[in-house]
Each structure stands twice: as C-alpha cells, then as structure tokens.
Amino acid sequence: MIWGQHLKYTISIALLSVVTRKLFQPLLLPHGWATKDAERGLYQEVNYNIKNLVTDGGLKKLYERRYPGKAPLLIGSETIVLDDDTNIYGLTKEGKIIVFENITSSMDDGDDGNLMYADAKVLVSYVGRPLGGKFVPGTKTMYIADALLGLCRVDLSRTFPKLELVVSEVKTATGDISPILYADDIDVGKSGMVYFSDASNIPPERDSDLTFDIMHAYKLDYMRGKKTGRLLRYNPDTDETVVLVDHIWFANGVAVDADETFILISETSMYRVLKYHLAGPKTGQVEISVDGFPGHVDGVDCSFPSGICYVAIPTPVIGLSKLLYKLPKNIEATIKTFFMMLPKWLSPKPMSYGGFVELKIAKNDNDKDVIQRIVQDPYGEQISFITGVTEHKGKLYLGSL
C-alpha cells in the first residue's frame, strides 16, 4: 500500500513537471535552458594600478551641444564611424544616423581643451538598432550592422538618403535559410567585400520606450551558454552572402587587415579574439588570435599604417561569473537558468570600467599575436563601458553605450 502511494506521488510529480515545462517554459525560458556543457573562457584579472586612459592626458570627450526644447540625439552610439574626410558619425539607440557639425573645444574650468562640443544633425531616421558601421573607401556609402534588420546600406551623398536592407537571411552549409537575428559589427575590405557578425540567435526585445534592449539579449545568450554566433561575408558584386565561421559564443567586433589576409572577430563570452584567414597557407581556417583578456571583448579595429589592432573592453568579468566558474557545471547551469527567468531589472549588472587593448599581430605563422598594451580607466571615472574603437588617421575614436 505504501509503495503504491509512493508510486502514485512520483507519477503525479513527474506529470506536473512535464505540464509545467510545457506551459511555462515558453514564457519564462523562450530561448531554452542554460546548457550544462558551456565552455569557460580564460581571463585575466584587472590591474587597477593601470590608469593610463586617465593619466596620459590624451582622452578627449565629445558632447552633443544641447539647446532648450530639443531632445538629445547622441544616445547609445556603440561605434563611431568616420568617412575619408574625417566627418564623424554616430549610430543611435533610436535608429538614427547622425553627423557631428561645428565641433569646438572648450577651455573652461581648466579642462585644457579635453572637452569638445558639437551639433548633432540627423541624416537618416528609421525603425531599427544600428550597432556597427563602415564606409566603402572613397565613397559616402555606409554599410551598417543593424541588430534588428541585418546588413543595411545607405548612400549619404544623396540629398535625401534612404536606408536599404541588403541581407536579412543567409543560406547555411546544409542548404537551409537562416535568419540574421543580431547583426552586430562590420568591416569592409579593400576588395569591397563586406564582413559582418551575427552575434546570437537571441534577438533584442523592444522596451516600453519603443527602443530595443541589446544588452538583455546578450545577458540571456551569456547565461544560456550556446555558441550560435557567426561571421558572414557579403559580396556586393554577386549579391551573395556566405557563412565563414559559426559556433561563436556571441560574435561581436569585426576587423579586416589592410591587405585583407585575415579577419579578427571578438568572441565576447569567451574573453578572446578569433582570427579567420583569408589568404596564405591557412586560408579558410579559424584559430584563437589572443585569449585571456581582462574582461568581455567588444568592438575591434585595425590600423592600416601600423598594423596594430585595437579591442574594446566594456566591462571586466563580474564576481558572479567568477563564482559560477568554481561550481560543478550542472549547478552552474541551474543557477544560470534561474537568472534567465528573472525580470530585466534583476539581471546582473556590468562593472564600472572603461578600456581597450592594443594587439600586436604576428607577421608570420611562426609567431603569435600578443597583447601589447592595456589602456584603461579601471573604475570608469572618466569613461566607462567602451563598446567600440575606431582608428582613423592615427587617432582612436571610442564609442560607449
């Protein structure tokens, strides 16, 4: 009799668990449970004695000039984009492409001209979330990685420029059509080929203010632990898009070198940068360029004259992640699944930090790419959450959300 009751209770609990999963998982876990076999990336601790982004005196901050009754435009510009004439553009949270005009330096309050002000002018406004942008050299045509739409293009030489959707899906190696759900960053090679990242198959969600929350989508992707990011290439001559690399744990920044022999891709959740070879004996192969960064990696750019590449570090590895790494993987996955079900306002927050890393890229296959220098404001006192780094004519332009 007792065994019969135990069996009845066990079957009831099992049925309740199945029903609960069927009913509530689509609501609480629409992207699935955290995986139990997620990799654990290598990272280094932040050296808080390094404050060279603040102390070197080279940091200048550009602010939008504000006028009474006019709402600000410069909001959430992850990457700064420059054309051949050094005009500065921003891509905003509200789906606007803006250009900065009438840039002046301020000498007030002894700031030594480190504060700059500019008027922001809207060139294009649309429904989307532009994150990365790059001009085709010698033109006013900008390609844009839009987290909602995919790969876009706009000719800013026109009097009334209009955004064009170029690629929103791609054919996989199996012949299936796969949607691009989180286009993130972009670069254009000397050949005219366009390289861009599709960070995750978890798309950003719309907030109550009608903008789109790219950060929460990343947090869900990080907690879930599945590598669904990709590097893609678009050929403007043939209008063909192909997947070059897949199985990347949040494919983020993209940068091609001057001779278009390789591409660097930030793998944000593994705290490392990958290298995909476009030429030479390793053509078509992907390898780890550098790992063990002092935090999550974001935007990437390479200086053509010097060959040095730069990687943005928005935040160090937070304490919760370090704690989870010390637990058995099944327990880690259970805790991450719990965090995935929490409302946005209870999700883990990044640490206040701002930095980027200089990479020295190997000139031959016998050498290794290495971190040459870490440049940082370790407490985020002057600048924090650096998401984009753009090199242009010997200067670096940093974007921050």
Please give the average per-residue pLDDT across 175-195, as a whole number.
97
Query: Quick check: 196 pLDDT over 80?
Result: yes
The larger pLDDT score, comparing residue 270 to residue 400, is at: 270
- pTM, whole model, 2 decimals? 0.92
Residues 6+ apart with CB under 8 A from 33: 224, 333, 337, 340
Half-sphere exposure (Cβ direction) of 227: Cα atoms closer than 13 Å: 17
Q: What integer pLDDT is reported at residue 105 of this predicted model?
A: 86
Query: Quick check: 69 pLDDT over 60?
Result: yes
Q: What integer pLDDT is reported at residue 55 of this predicted model?
A: 80
Please give the average per-residue pLDDT across 80-108, as a whole number.
92
C-alpha to C-alpha distance for 192 and 392, rounded to whole angstroms: 18
The 10s digit of each residue's pLDDT in 321-355 is: 999 999 999 999 999 999 999 999 999 999 999 99
Q: Would you state the structure tokens that stand for residue 109, as one six-digit string? A: 């309050």
Please give the average per-residue pLDDT across 270-280, as a whole number.
97
Query: Quick check: 143 pLDDT over 70?
Result: yes
**Position 210 confidence tier, pLDDT thresholds 50, 70, 90:** confident
Q: What integer pLDDT is reported at residue 19 of this predicted model?
A: 47
Among 18, 45, 4, CA closest to 321: 45
On average, the pLDDT of the chain sits at 91
Q: What integer pLDDT is reported at residue 112 of this predicted model?
A: 62
Please give the average per-residue pLDDT across 215-222, as a whole number.
97
